[in-house]
Structure formats: C-alpha cells, structure tokens
Amino acid sequence: MHRPFEWGRSDCSTSACDVFAALWGVDPLAPWRGAYDSALSAARLIHRMGGHEALAIEMARRAGLRDGDAIGAIGLAGRTLVICVRPGVWAGKTETGLAVVRAVDRAWHA
C-alpha cells in the first residue's frame, strides 16, 4: 500500500489483494489482474460483473474464501476493498493515501 495510486497496479483492489495474498497465499484478484488500467476500464469491468458487491463476491468465490471477518480478512466497504488490521479497524488504499473504516458491508477470510 506504500506505492502511489495507480489504476490496476496500486489501487484499492490491488492493494488489499496484495496484502491478503502476502498473508494467506491466495490472490482474490488473480483472474482480473491486468484487466483494467484506468478509471474507465475499471468501471467497465465492475459494470460487466454486475457491480462492486457482485464482483467482490465472485472474487471471494473463485478464491475459495469463506464469509467472515478476522484480522487479515478482506472486506468490501462501499465501493472499496479493504483489509482488516484488527477487529473493527479496516484499511484501504485511496487516490490520496490510506483510509481507515470501522465497518464493512461484507468480509471474507481464507
């Protein structure tokens, strides 16, 4: 998450999935890496998959993840993928740095 924001390389999805892969050896974003490189191509992918939540659910399903939150879990907070750093604290990449949220809409763990 230390690199500057860049669509498809260092955005909210790639950053959260990079951390998740480093922790658990599973990359939920693997099937879609390289599929987008701009806000427009990301929006097209999200639309094609049925929206943010539908894409996140499909990522979790393909990666064999289970519903639930715990330290190191990946979650969906609105339209952003985040990683659980401790109970009730989720961090995610933004265009201007890092955001911390207290709750997520859905979460999955390995």
Contact (CB, 8 A) for 100 and 90: yes
CA distance 77 to 101: 8
Side-chain half-sphere CA neighbours of 97 within 13 A: 3
pLDDT at 72: 95
Tell me how far the alpha carbon of residue 75 is from its chain's centroid: 7
Residue 83 lies in a domain: yes
Tokens representing residue 2 in the block: 């230390």
Q: Is residue 1 part of a domain?
A: no
pLDDT recorded at residue 110: 94
How many structural domains are present in the chain? 1
7 occurs within a structural domain? no
Please report the pLDDT score of residue 2 as a whole number: 78
The pLDDT value recorded for residue 3 is 87
Is 41 inside any structural domain? yes
Question: Is 16 inside any structural domain?
Answer: yes
Whole-structure pTM value: 0.93
DSSP state of 4: P
Residue 5 lies in a domain: no
Question: Could you list the residue range(s) of the whole structural domain that residue 61 is in?
Answer: 12-109
Which residues in the chain show pLDDT less than 50?
Answer: none
Domain membership of residue 21 (yes or no) is yes
82 found inside a domain: yes
| Rg of the chain in Å (alpha carbons) | 12
